[in-house]
A and B are shown apart, each in its own frame.
Chain A
Amino acid sequence: MSTIESDTLVAEVSDADATDETVDTVDTGEAVEVATATDEHNTGDVNPLEVVAAGVPRRRTLPIGGALLTAATLMYFGALFAIYLSERAAHLTRNAASGDGTPWIPSNVRVELAAPTFMAWTMLMSIITMQWAVYAFKRDDRRHGLLALVVQAVFAGGMINQTVFQWNQLGLVGDDLSSAAAPLIYAITGSYVAALVVAMIAFALLAFRTLSGSTTNQHTDGVSAVAVYWYALVVLYFIIWILIFITK
């Protein structure tokens, strides 16, 4: 292939296809390796702009996009936690100065630890089932992949159910200006429920794609992206557990 001008790319491609390339095909199972020999490479020169009759290598677009969205989700919860801690500290400082002793979480609110602890352990266990799904997808094991996704969805559904139960149990109402705990706790736990719903939608999409007949190892990137998101949710729940239910 000779020097290429920018406005003659198409012509050069066909030219290259016809004459300049020596193509060796190696069956790797997933992709075809194309070895392209050019004049420049034979002589050791490097052409700054070279048209090749090959595609770009497969890149992990979904995991990268998923990781970026997960980072944004972490930052969102990080902001909620920061505001919670900041308001709580300000409240306690004010109370220490005035000596009126109003608690951060109103005294008529029941903060039970049993359910949140159970939920934290549920999330911890779900790491294993999530990794089970990734493992099964990578090995094209459709049955186990689907089963793992269903178990994950059940875990997520259970978490939502428990959170709603807690809202009823707490009896936290936003009619007390002495503390900002109520809107913050509802914002944090409500956002967590929304994040679980997003995960469940992702599980459903992966499951439907797998059920539709395509092999599971085509969706490895997808399940990896969802797994990263889920692991972030696990970490976030442990922070919620410590921040709201243990520290109070």
Chain B
Amino acid sequence: MTVTTAENHASTDDLEASASYRRDSLGPLNFIGSGDHKVIGRMWIVASLVCGLVILAVGALVGFERIDALSIDVFPGLEGLGQAWTLYRLGLVFMVVVPLIIGLATAIIPLQVGSRAIAFPRAANAAFWTWLISAGIFAVSHAIDGGFVRGGGQDAVELSLMSLGFMAVSIMLATVCIMTTIITQRTEGMTLDMVPMFSWSMLVAGAVWLFSLPVLVANIVIIWVDLQGDVARYFANGLTDGIWNQLSWVTDQPQIFAFVLPLLGIAADIMPTGFREQPRLAGVVQGAIGLFGVLSFGAYAQSFFSGDSLTSPIYVLAALGLLLPVLAILGSWADMGRRSGEAPSVGIHGLIAIDAILLILLGGAIAFVRVLAPLIGFLREMPFLNEGTINDIIDPLESLQGTSIAGAVFNVVLVAGLLGALAGLHFWAPKLFGRKLIGPVGLLAALSLMGGAAVTAIPDVISGFLDQSDFFPLPDAVEGAAISIGDGVETLNLVSFIGRLGLVAGVGLMLLNALGSSLLKKPEPSEYDDEDIDNPWGGHTLEWATSSPPLVENFAAPITVGSDRPLLDLAEGEVHA
């Protein structure tokens, strides 16, 4: 074998010495400027979970006021309710789910590809701090009359816009670091088709994010420039909800599916360890993840600029097609189960991963319902079908686009992302925290999230059919006109509010579990008895080839791999021998 290497190859002792020096240079404040991807990843995870608790609590309060928006006054007036609502929608994406996934990816992906560090570690650190500061400003700006609904103060709205833009830019920067690590820092022998599924899914998701988030930044810049004009407000008219209409595509289908795409990779990495089988359909899973990425690109679906974009064939096709990759992944698991011939030993992380996949299927199904009207509308072109009959079918479906069904899709899909991240946290906890997370707490968190999402979404779907608007403040209510919604919506909103409380509890438990594992004393190896904390689940991929927690430089020496599941091959080889 011939390997080309750089001139100065440090010995293990040198690496440990330099790591020790860097660790001690800032003492307990070392995390501030750390270039260690594991430290940066943990900071993303803990900070996004703290944000999650705040944002979901705001969402629960919005849900409470929504029970009777004209009587209950948690937030000052309908404007205040609208501002809290935009904080919840954009915050759950950019302050919670995406940062949580980025944290997991920053910490784990260099280990998965056998790299000693993340690419551009200082940029990765800068991305985190930029995001954290922007997230704080974003939340505060909403509290001082910012946000993106009509009637906000101009300075505060500008602050909201700029902080959202900086959050998007910092997420892109972190994504570039992760993608560059996967492309250029893979260890010897690991071709791109051999990278673990989580890394593959981050590569696909990163590409979609890098092609869609700049569009959001462009929207923001145009609105911000328009706000600088003396009189005119073409894109930022304060008398309408134009600002929100330009930004809302990032919280709507299909784009929200792109934000949770890595959960497919997390699940696809976890499940084979339960089956202890070589996944025969790895190529199919990679293709499915790629297809999911293509279909979830949503920057074109901007109804503000193109009114018919939400009924276009590509939009409908995306909603239909998103279910297929998820089904393909489930099919690959069924294949593994059939070949192994026994029930998988999936553990708590596996159960949570299955929950996440089921929830994304539910989200896909609700998204499918939303496009039924344009889908059936295409049938109008068919000469053999009676147009009157088609109209009878379409009429009740046509008004669904702007109803609370959109909110149901949003909640279900993003909670699926949270569940995926929770599964990843449990699975990779030994690498992240040097210890396992507390299983029962994780299971309780998963049940809270899963139950909360279902209890929130199902009433919202029903009230969508009863014409409840998705958007706050209800435009008609502001103008004092009668709100025409069906009977029973208040009760449904009450049930939905209870579901939102479940979501708050779920994220609270996640945070407690992660914080406990971060701050509590690391257990001695003897405390695990005969359990191998370096690879407690029998993981197949390279991150399990190092210690738990890993060395500062990840691996004591570079490793060459000859397969996409080297540890499984190794174990099977030993069994055969």
Contact = CB atoms under 8 A, between A and B. Distances in A.
Contact of A49 (B119, B211, B230, B570): B570
Nearest to A84: B222
Contact of A61 (B5, B172, B184, B546): B184
A227 B383 CA distance: 57
A146 interface: no
A175 interface: yes
B184 A32 contact: no
B283 to A, nearest CB: 18
B1 interface: yes
Nearest to B223: A183
Contacts of B119: 61, 65
A52 B1 contact: yes
Contact of A187 (B12, B115, B225, B544): B225
B556 interface: yes
Determine the interface band of chain A, counting residues with CB < 8 A from chain B. 35 or more
Nearest to B548: A7
A169 interface: no
B557 A13 contact: yes
Contact of A177 (B177, B234, B574): B234
A174 interface: yes
Contact of A173 (B9, B210, B229, B560): B229
A187 B3 CA distance: 50
Given A65-B119, A174-B226, A79 B570 contact: no
A9 interface: yes
Contacts of B115: 56
Interface residues of B, number: 73
B218 A83 contact: yes
B2 A35 contact: yes
Interface string A39-75: 0010000111111111111111100110011011101
A32 B218 contact: no
A33 B172 CA distance: 37
B569 A10 contact: no
Contacts of B186: 56
Contacts of A49: 542, 545, 559-562, 566-567, 569-570
Contact of A7 (B187, B233, B532): B532
B215 interface: yes
Contacts of B213: 72
B130 interface: no
Contacts of B542: 49
A75 B561 contact: no
B176 interface: yes
A140 interface: no
6 contacts: A5-B570, A35-B1, A72-B176, A177-B233, A183-B226, A187-B222
Interface of B: 1-7, 9, 12, 115, 119-120, 172, 176-177, 179-180, 183-189, 210-215, 217-219, 221-222, 225-226, 228-235, 299, 305-306, 532, 534-535, 542, 544-547, 555-563, 565-567, 569-570, 573-574, 577
